[in-house]
Amino acid sequence: MTRYRLGLAASTALLFLSPAFAMAAPDVVVSIKPLHSLVASIMKGVGEPSLIVEGAASPHTYSLKPSNARALENADVVFWVGPGLEAFLDKPLEALPKNAKVVELEDTPGLTKLPFREGGAFEGHDHGDHAEASEGADDHAHDHGAEEAGHGEHAKVEHADDHRHDHGAEEATAAGDGDVHEDHAHEGHDHDEHEHGGTDMHLWLDPSNAKAMAAEIAKSLGDADPANKVAYEANLTTLNAEIDALDTEIAAQLKPVLQKPFIVFHDAYQYFEKRYGVRVAGSVTVSPETMPGAERLSTIHAKIGELGAACVFAEPQFEPKLISVVTEGTQAKSGVLDPEGGALEAGPGLYGQLMRNLSTSMSTCLSQ
């Protein structure tokens, strides 16, 4: 009998120590694919986060599904960029139980933030003063002080060891034209207000921002799940190394085409543009929720001819026929950019693939 009890006790102890009986990972829900990729990378070996905006859907036009609402109700931690991007989540997140931790990654310390540019053609942009990317490949630090000096000059992309940013002028000015207002600090959480007066929310398209958000993700997960904090921190170290290598790779790939202007579907690429020095000359539409009218298309068509824009890029979530309209009768080629990974499979590898696809699409089209 004693031997049986000792054996049972030993078996029970082994059961509690076994990986299968380890403390369950928290239920984590993430709004969009790029963030989901970062969270999934941090949670490797611990658990898998749920994704709200799946497939080729866009957060700009998304409507919450019943299955999404159920996932949110059961969530321990929710990650999103903020109401300026995922407006459809604003009210549902406010209604969550107080024990749910909601992490608004727009508020991550150390982010480079850029105000939205006004006007689809960026008329105030003097693209002749674009910075050249330096030949070094260790880093691509930005001197944002140049943005305060003049709207027509892009900050020179420099290489340093630590991806540091001089944020002195980030909130003062934008590199675009029109009146750019200060961030509205979520006043009313009005999406149009953020689209045309606040922070550009496509933050992940600067790898240094992705690293900052990854650090915040690891910290938030560690706070919510102390038992797996060491695993989250180890995964963060691995992810940082991967993003650094990615950053260097993209800078080298784009270097031969930095002086060629191109048009995008909507102005989602400011962070990528500043990071690598590519020449975005304008966008087909100011806001992806509203299709451009005849006047806007005429303006962009004229801009393509005036600048000799080499390419016009569509996006997989929106109407591609508009691209053929604005390129008709011009020498511009067409391509596709996918800033939110709509055409990619969700998972840890999506962020790197998304960034490489942007770089490859730009390099391929602009090299023709």
Per CATH, 2-111+205-246 and 127-186+257-367 having the same topology is answered yes
Question: What percentage of the chain reaches a pLDDT higher than 70?
Answer: 70
Give SS3 for 101.
strand
DSSP 42-87: HTTTT---EESS-TT--TTT----HHHHHHHHT-SEEEE--TTT-G
Binned at pLDDT 50, 70 and 90, residue 352 comes out as: very high
Binned at pLDDT 50, 70 and 90, residue 337 comes out as: very high
* Gyration radius (Cα) of the chain, Å: 22
pLDDT at residue 15 tops 90:
no
| 141: amino acid identity, one letter | A
| 275-286 residue pLDDT tens | 999 999 888 876
Distance CA 200, CA 116 (A): 5
The strand pairing partners of 309, in sequence order, are none
Q: Which of 281, 80, 88, 99 is nearest to 177 (CA)?
A: 281
> Domain spans of the chain?
2-111+205-246, 127-186+257-367
pLDDT at residue 137 tops 70:
no
pLDDT at residue 183 tops 60:
no
Distance CA 331, CA 322 (A): 16
Question: What's residue 144's pLDDT?
Answer: 38
Q: Structure pTM?
A: 0.74
Looking at domain 127-186+257-367, its CATH class is alpha beta
Tell me which of 32-41, 98-107, 177-186, 343-352 is least confident: 177-186
Superfamily of the domain at 2-111+205-246: Nitrogenase molybdenum iron protein domain (3.40.50.1980)
Contact 28, 50 (CB under 8 A): yes
Question: What's residue 29's pLDDT?
Answer: 98
Supply φ then ψ for residue 109, to 5 degrees: -60, 140
Distance CA 13, CA 239 (A): 34
Tell me which of 98-102, 107-111, 270-274 is least confident: 98-102
Mean pLDDT, residues 348-365: 98
| 204-261 residue pLDDT tens | 999 999 999 999 999 999 999 999 999 999 999 999 999 999 999 999 999 999 999 9
Contact 25, 83 (CB under 8 A): no
Binned at pLDDT 50, 70 and 90, residue 23 comes out as: low
The strand pair at 157-158 and 141-142 is best described as: antiparallel
pLDDT at residue 49 tops 70:
yes
Question: What's residue 118's pLDDT?
Answer: 65
The strand pairing partners of 141, in sequence order, are 158
